[in-house]
């Protein structure tokens, strides 16, 4: 019979995913702060990322289905399809090098979404996160960034004055989520632990969306700077340990680097998550170079700060560079705002 618990679950999953995608496209396209060109480019970038991610996912599902119906019973997979997909992007240090870049990026992106949603009056952030978690992070992320574009630009003082108080629970959930990401390779040999960790990771990273801060003020910006600095540092530790594991497998040479690059296409799932990571890296570069940041990062300082971050990006990944930039941004905006307040008082 076609109707059953599994099929109903799939209908609910894809129904909510497509409904969420329709919602964020509609909301992003109607955002008056961006030009028509900006709206078209950001939405097309998100749809392109989603299409590529799901092309690879569907290819994996077809391959997995064929293997599960193989005449040779011994070759049939016994793992749940979802678990098997995740295992294929974690199994080797070379695969984890690419996968961890994306997964370690997500906790900082969640914190960023909570902060900017409050500042910009975006009350449907959960829909963007839902589409990101169960569609592709780089599919919903450009549409969320589109909602942050303001014409005319909002000055730093106004932005900082709308900064919400950082809930300790939000910071806790994001940090624990990052630890869960780092723990993933250690659970490979225990299927139950592997499944529990995956479920826990997805669950705890949704919890920050439930927190609503009722307090705004310029003093809160510094607490967010501390939060993002911690996230960047922890992501750096994950990255360093991953790089160490990689160079236990390969040598620092051209053939070794090519082997690492080839790991991107080691299987359909790896292609999907690596593509997602590459798109997120591109979006990070776009956000760092955004003209709206010129107000509090000017001249030679802008060149030095952004030049250093962009130089480190290929090796350290967006998981380290993105929160590092957000920490710098909050500190600069806060300092600039306090300076202007003191000037007015004097």
Per-residue model confidence as pLDDT tens digits over 161-184: 788 889 899 999 999 999 999 999
pLDDT of residue 162: 83
CA atoms of 264 and 16, how far apart (whole Å): 30
Q: At what angle do helices 168-183 and 220-246 cross, to 10 degrees?
A: 0
Average pLDDT over residues 72-94: 89
pLDDT of residue 154: 64
Average pLDDT over residues 74-86: 86
Cα dihedral 74, 79, 80, 86, rounded to 10, equals -120
pTM: 0.92
> Is residue 295 very low, low, confident or very high in pLDDT (cuts 50, 70, 90)?
low
Average pLDDT over residues 224-233: 97
Per-residue model confidence as pLDDT tens digits over 238-267: 999 999 999 999 998 999 999 999 999 999
Map residue 296 onto helix, strand or coil.
coil
Residue 25 CB-density burial (10 A; 0-12 exposed, 13-18 middle, 19+ buried): middle
pLDDT of residue 1: 43
> Is residue 221 very low, low, confident or very high in pLDDT (cuts 50, 70, 90)?
confident
**157-to-150, 338, 342 alpha-carbon distances in Å:** 15, 8, 12
Q: CA-based angle 149:120:224, to the nearest 5?
A: 105
CA atoms of 89 and 263, how far apart (whole Å): 10
266 within 8 A of 304, measured Cβ to Cβ: no
> Is residue 9 very low, low, confident or very high in pLDDT (cuts 50, 70, 90)?
confident
| pLDDT higher than threshold 70 for residue 65 | yes
149 within 8 A of 121, measured Cβ to Cβ: no
| pLDDT higher than threshold 90 for residue 292 | no
Question: Among all chains, which residue has been given the structure tokens 């509090």?
Answer: 296
Helix residue spans in the chain (DSSP H): 5-29, 36-68, 81-87, 93-120, 125-134, 137-148, 156-161, 168-183, 191-204, 220-246, 254-262, 268-288, 299-316, 318-345
Per-residue model confidence as pLDDT tens digits over 108-153: 999 999 999 998 889 999 999 999 998 999 999 999 999 988 765 6
| pLDDT higher than threshold 60 for residue 346 | no
100 within 8 A of 8, measured Cβ to Cβ: no
Count the neighbouring beta carbons within 10 Å of the beta carbon of residue 261. 12
């Amino acid at each position: 019979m076609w109707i059953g618990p599994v099929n109903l679950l799939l209908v609910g999953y894809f129904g909510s995913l497509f409904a969420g995608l329709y919602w964020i496209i509609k909301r992003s396209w109607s955002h008056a702060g961006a030009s028509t060109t900006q709206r078209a480019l950001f939405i097309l970038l998100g749809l392109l990322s989603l299409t590529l991610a799901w092309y690879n996912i569907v290819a994996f599902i077809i391959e997995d289905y064929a293997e599960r119906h193989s005449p040779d019973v011994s070759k049939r997979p016994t793992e749940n399809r979802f678990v098997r997909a995740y295992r294929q992007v974690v199994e080797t240090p070379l695969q984890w090098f690419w996968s961890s870049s994306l997964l370690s990026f997500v906790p900082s992106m969640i914190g960023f979404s909570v902060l900017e949603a409050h500042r910009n009056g975006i009350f449907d952030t959960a829909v963007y996160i839902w589409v990101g978690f169960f569609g592709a992070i780089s599919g919903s992320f450009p549409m969320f960034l589109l909602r942050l574009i303001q014409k005319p630009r909002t000055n730093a003082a106004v932005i900082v004055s709308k900064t919400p108080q950082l809930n300790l629970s939000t910071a806790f959930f994001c940090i624990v989520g990052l630890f869960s990401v780092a723990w993933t390779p250690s659970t490979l040999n225990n299927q139950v632990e592997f499944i529990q960790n995956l479920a826990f990771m997805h669950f705890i990273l949704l919890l920050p969306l439930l927190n609503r801060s009722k307090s705004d003020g310029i003093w809160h910006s510094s607490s967010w700077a501390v939060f993002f600095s911690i996230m960047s540092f922890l992501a750096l530790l994950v990255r360093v340990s991953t790089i160490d594991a990689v160079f236990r497998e390969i040598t620092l040479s051209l053939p070794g680097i090519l082997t690492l690059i080839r790991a991107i296409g080691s299987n359909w799932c790896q292609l999907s998550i690596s593509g997602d990571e590459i798109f997120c890296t591109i979006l990070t570069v776009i956000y760092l170079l955004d003209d709206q940041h010129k107000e509090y990062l000017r001249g030679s300082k802008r060149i030095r700060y952004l030049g250093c971050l962009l130089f480190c990006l290929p090796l350290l990944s967006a998981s380290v560079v993105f929160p590092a930039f957000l920490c710098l941004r909050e500190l600069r905006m806060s300092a600039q705002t306090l300076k202007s307040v003191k000037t007015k008082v004097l």
